[in-house]
C-alpha cells in the first residue's frame, strides 16, 4: 500500500499536481509508519528472546542476592548441575560456597526430590559439614523452585532448639524423680511410725529419718528456686559492691561442721581486700556449693583449699581438693542440672545434683565464668573468674551502713509499737 501511494504521489509530482509542503508532509508520514513498524517488530523480538533466555539460562534473578544477604538462615541458589550461584552469609557455616558444587548429600537429595515432584519440599535432617569432623547439625531444610531451572535452598539450624527442648524435658523428668524420692520416703516412714507407736525407740529413729528426708526435700526445692531465679531475665537486679573476704569467710563457716564430720581440713589463702559487684548471698551460696562438693569427694584426713587471686581486672576464687577427681567424659556434663559424676556417692550424701549448675549460672550472672581442672585420683580445682572492682569509698560505705541501721531501727520500733511495748 505504501509503495502504491508513494508511486501515485511520485506520478502526481511529475504531473505537477502537488506542491512542495505536501510532498514533505507525506514523506514524513511514510517514514514514521515504517519506523514505528520496525520498532515494534524489534521490541517483540527482543521480548521473545529475553523470555527464552531467562527460562533457558542459570542466571540468578535480579534482587535475589539482596534477599539472601538479608537472611539470618543459611540459604543458597543452585543450578541443575548442583553449582552454587549465590549464598547467604550463614551458608558458609555449612561449607556452602559460591562457585562450588553443593556436596552435602542430604541437601542434594532434597533438590532431586523437588525436581521430580515439582512441589516445594521441607525435611528435617542431620547434616555434617563436608571434610570436617563435627557433630551432625539438626536442620530444617526447604527446597523451592526459582524459575524453570534454579532451586532455592533454605537451611535453618535447629540444633540448639532441640538441645533446649531436651534440657526442658530432662529437667521436668529429673525434678519429678528427685521430688518423688523424699516424698515417698516420708510417706513410708510415717506409716512405720504409726505401726511402731508402742515402741518409743523406733519412733525416735523413724522421726529422725523423716527429719533428714524433710531437710533433703527443703534443700532440693530451695536450690530449684535459686536456679530458677538465676536463670530468670529479671531475677537479679540489685548489685552492690561485695567484699570477697566476707563471702569466703561466710562460705567456710557455713561448712565447717560438714568438714569436721568428714575429717577434712579447710584451708584459706590468697589475696585479701578484693571487691566485686554483685549479690553477696548468691556468691556465698555459689562458693559454698564448691566447698561442699570438695568435702564430699575428699578422703578423710585430706585438705580442701579456698584461695583468692587478683589478676588485673579480674578476680579468681579457686576451691581445690585432693579427692577422687573427675573423668574427662564427666567434665563435659558436670554443670548440667541433676547430673552426678558419682551417682552412688551423691545419693548416699544427699546431693541434689544442682550445686554446680547454680555455681555456673551465678558466675555468669555476675559477668564471669567457671573453669575446671581435674585428674582422676589426683583431685579437682574449680575456679570462679569474676570482674573485679575497686574498693568502695569509705564515706559512701558508712552512709550506706547508717541508712541500713536506720531502716532496721525503724522496723524494730514499729514492731515494738504493734506489740504494745514502750518505744
Comparing 45 with 159, the larger pLDDT belongs to 159
Q: How many domains does the chain have?
A: 4
Are 187 and 274 members of one domain?
A: no
Residue 317 has a pLDDT of: 92
Residue 362 lies in a domain: yes
Are 205 and 338 members of one domain?
A: no
Task: Report DSSP state, residue 101.
Answer: B
Q: What sign does the dihedral 207-215-173-374 (CA atoms) show?
A: negative
90-97, Cβ contacts within 8 angstroms, sequence gap of 24 or more? 91/155, 93/129, 93/157, 94/127, 94/129, 94/137, 94/155, 95/129, 95/130, 95/131, 95/132
Q: Which residue carries 542459570 as its cell?
A: 58
Residue 70 lies in a domain: yes
Residue 52 lies in a domain: no
Q: Are 163 and 171 in contact (CB under 8 A)?
A: no
CATH of residue 143 = 3.30.450.20
Are 244 and 361 members of one domain?
A: yes
Are 250 and 217 members of one domain?
A: no
Comparing 192 with 32, the larger pLDDT belongs to 192
Res. 246 pLDDT band, cuts 50 70 90: very high
Residue 413 lies in a domain: no
Question: If you average pLDDT over residues 207-232, what whole number do you get?
Answer: 74
Measuring CA to CA, how many Å separate 143 from each of 6, 75, 103, 146, 225? 62, 10, 15, 9, 45
Question: If you average pLDDT over residues 407-417, what whole number do you get?
Answer: 57
Are 213 and 352 members of one domain?
A: no
Residue 386 has a pLDDT of: 92
Among the three residues 157, 182, 208, which one is the final residue of a domain in this structure? 157
Are 173 and 203 members of one domain?
A: yes
Are 383 and 298 members of one domain?
A: yes
User: Residue 276: pLDDT above 80?
Assistant: yes
Among the three residues 127, 157, 187, which one is the final residue of a domain in this structure? 157
Residue 57 has a pLDDT of: 45
CATH of residue 256 = 3.30.565.10
Residue 14 lies in a domain: yes
Question: Which pTM value belongs to this model?
Answer: 0.50
Comparing 28 with 280, the larger pLDDT belongs to 280
Among the three residues 157, 177, 206, which one is the final residue of a domain in this structure? 157
Residue 51 lies in a domain: no
For the chain, what is the mean pLDDT? Answer: 77
Q: pLDDT of 99-116, one tens digit each? A: 888 988 899 999 999 988
Residue 326 has a pLDDT of: 83
User: How far apart (Å, rounded) are the C-alpha atoms in residues 11 and 3?
Assistant: 12
Residue 22 lies in a domain: yes
- Residue-range definition of the domain harbouring residue 142: 64-157
CATH of residue 176 = 1.10.287.130
Backbone φ and ψ for 71, nearest 5 degrees, come out as -90, 140
Residue 174 lies in a domain: yes
Q: pLDDT of 292-337, one tens digit each? A: 889 988 899 999 999 999 988 899 999 999 888 887 777 777 777 6
Comparing 136 with 18, the larger pLDDT belongs to 136
Res. 15 pLDDT band, cuts 50 70 90: very low
Are 251 and 375 members of one domain?
A: yes
Question: If you average pLDDT over residues 123-146, what whole number do you get?
Answer: 80
Question: If you average pLDDT over residues 124-144, what whole number do you get?
Answer: 79
Are 208 and 322 members of one domain?
A: no
User: Residue 129: pLDDT above 50?
Assistant: yes
Which residues are bridge partners to 241 per DSSP?
277
Q: Are 265 and 259 in contact (CB under 8 A)?
A: yes
Residue 156 has a pLDDT of: 92
Question: If you average pLDDT over residues 234-242, what whole number do you get?
Answer: 69
Are 298 and 372 members of one domain?
A: yes
Res. 421 pLDDT band, cuts 50 70 90: very low
Residue 238 has a pLDDT of: 66
Q: pLDDT of 333-355, one tens digit each? A: 777 766 665 554 445 445 556 77
Are 227 and 253 members of one domain?
A: no
Q: pLDDT of 148-189, one tens digit each? A: 889 999 999 988 888 778 777 777 776 776 677 677 778 888
Are 78 and 152 members of one domain?
A: yes
Amino acid at each position: 500500500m505504501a509503495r502504491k501511494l508513494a508511486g501515485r504521489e511520485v506520478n502526481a509530482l511529475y504531473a505537477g499536481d502537488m506542491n512542495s509542503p505536501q510532498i514533505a508532509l507525506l514523506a514524513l508520514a511514510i517514514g514514521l509508519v515504517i519506523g514505528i513498524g520496525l520498532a515494534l517488530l524489534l521490541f517483540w523480538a527482543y521480548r521473545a528472546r529475553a523470555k527464552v533466555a531467562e527460562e533457558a539460562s542459570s542466571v540468578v534473578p535480579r534482587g535475589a542476592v539482596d534477599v539472601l544477604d538479608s537472611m539470618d538462615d543459611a540459604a543458597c541458589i543452585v543450578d541443575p548441575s548442583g553449582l552454587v550461584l549465590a549464598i547467604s552469609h550463614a551458608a558458609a557455616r555449612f561449607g556452602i560456597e559460591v562457585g562450588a558444587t553443593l556436596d552435602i548429600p542430604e541437601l542434594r537429595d532434597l533438590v532431586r526430590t523437588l525436581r521430580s515432584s515439582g512441589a516445594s519440599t521441607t525435611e528435617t535432617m542431620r547434616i555434617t559439614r563436608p571434610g570436617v569432623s563435627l557433630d551432625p547439625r539438626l536442620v530444617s531444610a526447604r527446597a523451592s523452585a526459582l524459575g524453570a531451572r534454579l532451586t532455592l535452598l533454605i537451611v535453618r539450624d535447629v540444633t540448639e532448639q532441640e538441645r533446649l527442648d531436651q534440657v526442658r524435658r530432662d529437667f521436668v523428668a529429673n525434678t519429678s524423680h528427685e521430688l518423688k524420692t523424699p516424698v515417698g520416703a516420708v510417706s513410708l516412714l510415717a506409716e512405720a511410725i504409726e505401726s511402731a507407736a508402742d515402741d518409743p525407740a523406733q519412733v525416735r529413729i523413724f522421726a529422725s529419718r523423716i527429719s533428714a528426708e524433710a531437710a533433703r526435700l527443703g534443700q532440693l526445692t530451695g536450690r530449684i528456686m535459686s536456679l530458677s531465679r538465676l536463670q530468670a531475665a529479671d531475677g537479679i537486679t540489685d548489685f552492690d559492691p561485695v567484699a570477697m573476704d566476707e563471702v569466703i569467710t561466710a562460705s567456710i563457716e557455713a561448712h565447717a561442721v560438714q568438714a569436721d564430720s568428714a575429717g577434712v581440713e579447710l584451708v584459706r589463702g590468697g589475696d585479701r581486700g578484693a571487691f566485686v559487684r554483685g549479690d553477696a548471698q548468691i556468691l556465698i551460696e555459689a562458693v559454698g556449693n564448691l566447698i561442699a562438693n570438695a568435702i564430699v569427694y575428699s578422703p578423710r584426713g585430706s585438705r580442701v583449699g579456698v584461695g583468692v587471686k587478683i589478676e588485673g581486672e579480674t578476680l579468681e576464687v579457686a576451691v581445690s581438693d585432693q579427692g577422687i577427681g573427675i573423668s574427662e567424659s564427666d567434665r563435659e556434663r558436670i554443670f548440667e542440672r541433676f547430673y552426678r559424676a558419682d551417682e552412688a556417692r551423691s545419693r548416699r550424701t544427699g546431693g541434689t545434683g544442682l550445686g554446680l549448675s547454680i555455681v555456673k549460672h551465678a558466675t555468669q550472672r555476675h559477668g564471669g565464668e567457671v573453669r575446671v581442672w581435674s585428674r582422676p585420683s589426683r583431685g579437682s580445682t574449680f575456679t570462679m573468674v569474676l570482674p573485679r572492682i575497686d574498693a568502695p569509698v569509705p564515706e559512701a560505705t558508712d552512709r550506706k551502713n547508717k541508712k541500713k541501721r536506720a531502716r532496721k531501727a525503724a522496723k524494730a520500733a514499729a514492731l515494738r509499737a504493734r506489740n504494745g511495748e514502750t518505744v
